[in-house]
Amino acid sequence: MGRRPSNKPTSFDIAYLAGVSQPTVSRALRGSKSVSLATRQKIEAIARQLNYTVDKNASSLRSQRSNTLALLFFEDPTPDESNINPFFLAMLGSITRHCAHRGLDLLISFQKLDDDWHKRYQDSHRADGLILLGYGDYTAYEPRLRQLIRSGTHFVRWGSVDDGTIGATVGSDNFGAGRLAGEHLLARGRKRIAFLGQADSHYPEFEQRYAGLAKAVVTAGLSPDPALLVDAVSSEENGYHAARELLSREAPFDAIFAASDLIAVGAMRALSEAGLSVPEDVAVVGFDDIPAAAFTSPPLTTIMQDIRLAGEALVESVLAQVEGRPGNPRVLPARLVVRASSGG
């Protein structure tokens, strides 16, 4: 029964024990250089001995800095509770680690696209900045982004980096990646490449992936066939149905470029049910390199985004804004991971 259990010590207690004033304790523990080595060490020793921790709320209230970022996930289609987009989960890992590296706390939250999430965060001082991660229909949350900007909330968005977007944005080189996928398939002799994914402006990332593919096709002297373009948002179910739709169109095709791995996985199931074999009849390339991609049969050729770099870029971008610097847009390279589904 040495010490009373939950009598959380304050900086006053330490000040008293160290024989200094309370502000000095604050300075010492925060590493201000205007406190002598001797007193700092004495203070640190006492603090350690008392198991003292700075009160996060008091500190944040006073300094108007929470040293916390909020990570908001948006998902369009899935009403399924626990089934989160695996790519975003990988991103989450990268972001948390980078936050830890920078001494930041990370608040996370899942949002419906049409919720009033922005109100929770603007001016509440929960977080110094927001990281927005979402695949969904861009137009659905675009007005809310304007709201955030108006209220002076710092945020960065993961998504398509182009002129039309609003606020700081970090994203992969979707166009380049699409082109990469196209060139890969063309190099393997495929001539009629279908695209599964929403290729309109509501889904700018998918749109750019398609644009890259089209560019590769055109460059090869071929012309893209609109019949090979099937809408799908990112889920296995949608991929399955999109592939069936494609099959029903009876336009010949010898390859599929899916806008996401989930779509690709669903599509491969549909192909297999239709008696088509991958990659002999149809080569398949996905996007994201989710963990399951290595375990499909055949294993899925896909585009790997640089997740580590992405997490870092996102965190640094918000941080820059918090510190008054501009959060410049950033395009990250993506690379092709060749597996069996595209014929090696």
Residue 133 is given by DSSP the state: E
Output 125 or 330, the one with its CB closest to DNA.
125
Q: Which stretch binds DNA (CB under 7 A): 37-45, 128-136, 303-311, 314-322?
A: 37-45
b/e string for 217-230 if b means 16 or more Cβ within 10 A?
A: beeeeeebeeebbb
| Binding partner of residue 12 among a second copy, DNA, none, CB cut-off 5 to 8 Å per kind | DNA
Site map 224..243 versus a second copy, x via CB under 8 A = --------------------
**Cα–Cα distances in angstroms (integers) from residue 316 to residues 51, 124, 190, 223, 323, in the given order:** 32, 22, 41, 41, 10
8 is a site residue for DNA (CB under 7 A)? yes
CB under 8 Å to 311, separation ≥6 — which residues?
91, 93, 94, 95, 96, 97, 98
CB 78 within 8 A of CB 114: no
| Binding residues for DNA, total number by CB under 7 A | 32
| Binding partner of residue 109 among a second copy, DNA, none, CB cut-off 5 to 8 Å per kind | a second copy
**Of 11, 238, 302, 341, the one binding DNA by CB under 7 A:** 11
209 is a site residue for DNA (CB under 7 A)? no
Distance CA 184, CA 28 (A): 59
Nearest to 176 by CA among 196, 189, 192, 161: 161
295 is a site residue for a second copy (CB under 8 A)? yes
CB 264 within 8 A of CB 285: yes
Distance CA 174, CA 182 (A): 12
Site map 74..93 versus a second copy, x via CB under 8 A = -------xxxx-x--xx-xx
Name residues contacting a second copy, limited to 57-76 (CB under 8 A).
57-58, 60-61, 66, 68
**Of 21, 151, 248, 277, the one binding DNA by CB under 7 A:** 21
Distance CA 11, CA 31 (A): 15
Nearest to 229 by CA among 271, 270, 272, 259: 259
| Binding partner of residue 96 among DNA, a second copy, none, CB cut-off 5 to 8 Å per kind | a second copy
**Of 3, 41, 62, 178, the one binding DNA by CB under 7 A:** 62
Binding site for a second copy (CB under 8 A): 5-6, 8-9, 51-58, 60-61, 66, 68, 81-84, 86, 89-90, 92-94, 96-97, 100, 105-110, 119-120, 122-126, 150-152, 265, 291-292, 294-297, 307-308, 311
